[in-house]
């Protein structure tokens, strides 16, 4: 991939969508960048952190998204261009501040860039935060390809500065994590001067205090900004039309769906029948532009992902314009032409177009499809997600689930967000019984821990990762301690925000820019607020399970167990083999052992497989990373950790 700060403009660069956003921010002269890691957004802050010295930027991974937005807003208040990056859940976390920020307004151009995950490829929800733009009454931009990802970002800063309000940009996985060719523009000078003016008249947007009061006045002001945005959107180059003057069908779309729609129209060869109106400014919609295009056709198809946000906005305008443009026949999510869940793809758009235009299309012939699906069914066993070989979470959940089973009191674990969320699956022995938002495991546990009043006496556990601990677990933990809720929090400390690529957090030594930071310690924090704290290595089964029983035996109040073992993929550990693990074929009793294949049937590390010919377990050398944990699982000691040769 091309270096993000390549000064050569007007050249053909292959970049990831997230790098295109980052380059757009650099071309706009961004100075302050803050975010919290979350797939598919993380590479934007990461790539800007990597060039922060070269480009004189302040970049941080904040404790959570609300703090990130506040940090970015400070930059804007001091007349700098600032960027806050998050994923769809993050917008919810930041939304309280976001609402007030729309009220107070901004000074230096400020973008809130949300990268969302239709289909929940790497999420536990497919939330669509576009509606925040309508709720907060701020402009929403959605780029329709990689070049626009860069260009719209650059323009977004100008728009924000012109309106003095935050501007929201929405991306999706198939833009953020896809790659395409773009042409770079010039990079500006990097001398930024920050000053916060606050002594002016209370209503002066440039020199007064930054507040959302007087509320009715500021709210009215925000609505005037929306009207101004509409005027600018009427002529925006990010809204384009391709197709005949009088199409049979007008297809209105935005974001990655633009690429799917183009593909569908081309594959069907209906360029002469379907007009494509691609919108980059999706809220507020520009009515004159919509009127011009809605006039063209009697049938209108709206193609977008998740909720029918664009569809509803278009329908409201069409209703208001009905006298001039006539009554239209609409197709979209509300009539079921386009599915309302999961991500879209070219085939879904093809299906919708065929239905409306009365065409037949089969990308896969029925004959091929039947044959291939038979082979798939018989010859490609399903592959469910699992923890990596050497992952400390497998060991942690083994310990927790074994202890809860032995205790036999219907104990359960409230889950949280990270790689360890996979412990809802057999990969983590189906240990997690609730799973919601960041920090929610401990909040929910805090509630369960107070239900003794109503006769509930099941042991209550929660888990969280080290980054999640700082993000949103702390307030829940303080609540549990204060109310003497009877719970055990297990912190799965793998020393970094592992799932998204080892970003730093308050518990790490360095910050996003690689500079020394003040490192906090989870056990000290927990002790200082009054919890009983233990620390163990999850790879040590005896010690860990003994400690879990000790904590379960203490009735009343919050217990915290920090299970510390670094992630197997972390830069510090990856490629370092602790042991050459071997299965002694002569000692493994195979199917005759009373263990009923405990190692491969229950423990299930991908590095330890079953030899179907010899009927014993064996190590897969291409996968095993040599953590040696499985040697503790075998009841007859057939798995041995040898010194690395």
Partner 1 sequence: MTTELPKLKADPYNLIITGVGGQGNVTASRILGNMLSQMGYYITIGETFGASQRGGSVMSHLRVSAEETVSPIIAKGQGHMVIAMEPTEAIRVLADYGNMEIKVICNTRPIHPMGVIAGEQAYPSQAEIEERVNDISGQAWFINATDEALADMKNPVYGNIMLLGAVAATGELPISRDDFEASISETMTADKVALNLKAFDRGLEMLQ
Q: Which of residues 149-168 bind partner 1 (CB under 8 A)?
A: none
Q: How far is the CB of 523 from partner 1 (least distance, A)?
A: 28
Which residue of 179, 298, 532, 632 would you call a contact of partner 1, by CB under 8 A? 179
Contact between 365 and partner 1 per CB under 8 A: yes
Contact between 422 and partner 1 per CB under 8 A: yes
Q: Of 22-30, 185-193, 318-326, 339-347, which segment contacts partner 1 by CB under 8 A? A: 339-347
Q: How far is the CB of 19 from partner 1 (least distance, A)?
A: 12
Contact between 259 and partner 1 per CB under 8 A: yes
Which residue of 188, 200, 214, 426 would you call a contact of partner 1, by CB under 8 A? 426
490 membership: H or E segment, kind and range: strand 487-493
Q: How far is the CB of 163 from partner 1 (least distance, A)?
A: 30
Which residue of 193, 383, 555, 645 would you call a contact of partner 1, by CB under 8 A? 383
Q: Of 188-196, 270-278, 417-425, 581-589, which segment contacts partner 1 by CB under 8 A? A: 417-425
Binding mask 31-50 for partner 1 (x = CB under 8 A): --------xx----------
Residues 6+ apart with CB under 8 A from 346: 260, 263, 264, 267
Q: How far is the CB of 639 from partner 1 (least distance, A)?
A: 15
Q: How far is the CB of 53 from partner 1 (least distance, A)?
A: 20
Q: DSSP H helical segments within 339-407, as ranges?
A: 346-357, 366-379, 392-407
Q: Of 215-223, 330-338, 582-590, 621-629, which segment contacts partner 1 by CB under 8 A? A: 621-629
Tokens at residue 98, please?
Answer: 């976001």
Three-class DSSP category at 560: strand
Secondary structure (H, E, C), 36-48: CCCCCCHHHHHHH
Contact between 61 and partner 1 per CB under 8 A: no
| Spatial CA neighbour of 329 closest among 236, 222, 248 | 248
Place of tokens 């660069």: 13
Q: How far is the CB of 621 from partner 1 (least distance, A)?
A: 7
- Report the greatest alpha carbon distance in the chain: 86
Supply φ then ψ for residue 430, to 5 degrees. Answer: 45, 45
Which residue of 211, 362, 456, 636 would you call a contact of partner 1, by CB under 8 A? 362
| Spatial CA neighbour of 428 closest among 444, 437, 440, 416 | 416
Report the alpha-carbon distance of residue 409 to residue 116 in Å, rounded: 40
DSSP 8-state secondary structure symbol assigned to residue 510: B
Distances (CA, A) of 239 to 170, 242, 275, 308, 347: 15, 10, 13, 19, 24
Nearer to partner 1, 180 or 208 (CB): 180
Q: How far is the CB of 310 from partner 1 (least distance, A)?
A: 19
Q: Of 159-167, 284-292, 325-333, 365-373, which segment contacts partner 1 by CB under 8 A? A: 365-373
Q: Exposure of 295 by Cβ count < 10 A (0-12 exposed, 13-18 middle, 19+ buried)?
A: middle
Nearer to partner 1, 95 or 345 (CB): 345
Contact between 53 and partner 1 per CB under 8 A: no
Contact between 350 and partner 1 per CB under 8 A: yes
Binding mask 594-613 for partner 1 (x = CB under 8 A): ---x--xxx-x-x-xxx-x-
Which residue of 147, 298, 479, 587 would you call a contact of partner 1, by CB under 8 A? 147
In degrees, to the nearest 5, what angle opens at C-alpha 325 toward C-alphas 320 and 329?
90
Q: How far is the CB of 393 from partner 1 (least distance, A)?
A: 10
Number of amino acids touching partner 1 (CB under 8 A):
74
Tokens at residue 55, please?
Answer: 């480009």
Bridge partner residues of 275 (DSSP)? 250
Q: Exposure of 261 by Cβ count < 10 A (0-12 exposed, 13-18 middle, 19+ buried)?
A: buried
Contact between 427 and partner 1 per CB under 8 A: yes
> Which residues ranging from 71 to 130 are in contact with partner 1 (CB under 8 A)?
121-123
Q: How far is the CB of 371 from partner 1 (least distance, A)?
A: 6
In degrees, to the nearest 5, what angle opens at C-alpha 584 toward C-alphas 578 and 590?
120
Q: How far is the CB of 322 from partner 1 (least distance, A)?
A: 34
Entry field: residues in the chain: 645
Nearer to partner 1, 379 or 553 (CB): 379
Contact between 420 and partner 1 per CB under 8 A: no
Three-class DSSP category at 334: coil
Report the alpha-carbon distance of residue 314 to residue 541 in Å, rounded: 59
Q: How far is the CB of 601 from partner 1 (least distance, A)?
A: 5
Report the alpha-carbon distance of residue 429 to residue 423 in Å, rounded: 6
> Which residues ranging from 492 to 511 are in contact with partner 1 (CB under 8 A)?
499-500
Nearer to partner 1, 380 or 518 (CB): 380
Residues 6+ apart with CB under 8 A from 199: 207
Contact between 263 and partner 1 per CB under 8 A: yes
Report the alpha-carbon distance of residue 449 to residue 492 in Å, rounded: 20
Contact between 388 and partner 1 per CB under 8 A: yes
> Which residues ranging from 529 to 588 are in contact with partner 1 (CB under 8 A)?
none
- Taken in order 105, 107, 109, 111, the sign of the CA dihedral is negative
> Which residues ranging from 10 to 29 are in contact with partner 1 (CB under 8 A)?
12-14
Tokens at residue 91, please?
Answer: 């917008």
């Amino acid at each position: 991939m091309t270096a993000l700060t390549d000064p050569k403009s007007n050249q053909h660069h292959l970049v990831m969508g997230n790098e295109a956003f980052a380059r757009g921010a650099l071309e706009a002269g961004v100075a302050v960048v803050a975010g919290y890691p979350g797939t598919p957004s993380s590479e934007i802050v990461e790539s800007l952190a990597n060039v922060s010295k070269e480009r004189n930027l302040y970049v941080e991974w904040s404790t959570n998204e609300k703090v990130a937005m506040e940090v970015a807003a400070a930059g804007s208040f001091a007349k700098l261009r600032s960027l806050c990056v998050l994923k769809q859940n993050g917008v919810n976390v930041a939304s309280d501040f976001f609402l007030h920020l729309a009220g107070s307004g901004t000074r230096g151009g400020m973008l809130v860039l949300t990268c969302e995950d239709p289909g929940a490829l790497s999420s536990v929800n497919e939330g669509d935060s576009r509606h925040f733009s309508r709720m907060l009454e701020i402009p929403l931009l959605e780029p329709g390809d990689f070049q626009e990802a860069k260009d719209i970002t650059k323009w977004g800063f100008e728009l924000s500065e012109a309106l003095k309000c935050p501007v929201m940009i929405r991306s999706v996985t198939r833009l953020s994590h896809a790659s395409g060719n773009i042409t770079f523009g010039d990079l500006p000078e990097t001398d930024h001067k920050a000053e916060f003016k606050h002594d002016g008249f209370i209503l002066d947007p440039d020199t007064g205090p930054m507040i959302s009061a007087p509320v009715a006045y500021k709210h009215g002001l925000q609505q005037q900004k929306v009207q101004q945005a509409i005027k600018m959107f009427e002529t925006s180059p990010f809204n384009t039309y391709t197709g005949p003057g009088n199409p049979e069908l007008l297809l209105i779309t935005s974001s990655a769906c633009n690429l799917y729609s183009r593909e569908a129209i081309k594959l069907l060869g209906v360029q002469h029948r379907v007009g494509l109106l691609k919108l980059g400014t999706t809220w507020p919609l520009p009515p004159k532009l919509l009127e011009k295009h809605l006039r063209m056709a009697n049938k209108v198809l709206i193609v977008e992902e998740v909720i029918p946000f664009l569809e509803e906005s278009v329908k409201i305008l069409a209703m208001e314009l009905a006298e001039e443009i006539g009554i239209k026949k609409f197709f979209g999510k509300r009539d079921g032409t386009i599915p309302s869940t999961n991500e879209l793809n070219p085939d879904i758009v093809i299906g919708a177009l065929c239905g409306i235009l009365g065409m037949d299309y089969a990308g896969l012939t029925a004959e091929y499809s039947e044959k291939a699906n038979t082979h798939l069914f018989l010859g490609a066993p399903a592959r469910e997600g699992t923890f990596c070989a050497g992952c400390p979470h497998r060991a942690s959940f083994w310990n927790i689930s074994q202890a809860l089973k032995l205790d036999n009191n219907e104990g359960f674990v409230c889950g949280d967000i990270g790689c360890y969320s996979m412990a809802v699956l057999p990969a983590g022995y189906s240990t997690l019984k609730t799973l919601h938002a960041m920090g929610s495991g401990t909040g929910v546990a805090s509630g369960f821990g107070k239900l003794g009043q109503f006769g509930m006496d099941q042991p209550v556990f929660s888990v969280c990762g080290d980054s999640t601990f700082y993000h949103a677990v702390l307030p829940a933990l303080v609540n549990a301690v204060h109310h003497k809720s009877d719970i055990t929090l297990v912190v799965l400390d793998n020393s970094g925000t592992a799932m998204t690529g080892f970003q730093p957090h308050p518990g790490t030594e360095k910050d996003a820019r690689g500079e020394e930071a003040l490192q906090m310690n989870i056990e000290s924090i927990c002790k200082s607020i009054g919890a009983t704290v233990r620390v163990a290595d999850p790879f040590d089964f005896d010690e860990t399970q003994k400690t879990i029983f000790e904590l379960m035996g203490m009735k009343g109040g919050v217990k915290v167990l920090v299970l510390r073992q670094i992630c197997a993929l972390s830069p510090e550990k990856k490629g370092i083999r602790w042991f050459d693990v071997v299965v002694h074929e002569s000692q493994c009793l195979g199917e005759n052992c009373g263990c009923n294949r405990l190692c491969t049937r229950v423990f299930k590390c991908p590095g330890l497989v079953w030899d179907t010919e010899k009927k014993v377990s064996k190590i897969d050398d291409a996968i095993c990373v040599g953590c040696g944990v499985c040697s503790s699982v075998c009841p007859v000691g057939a798995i041995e950790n040898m010194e690395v040769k």
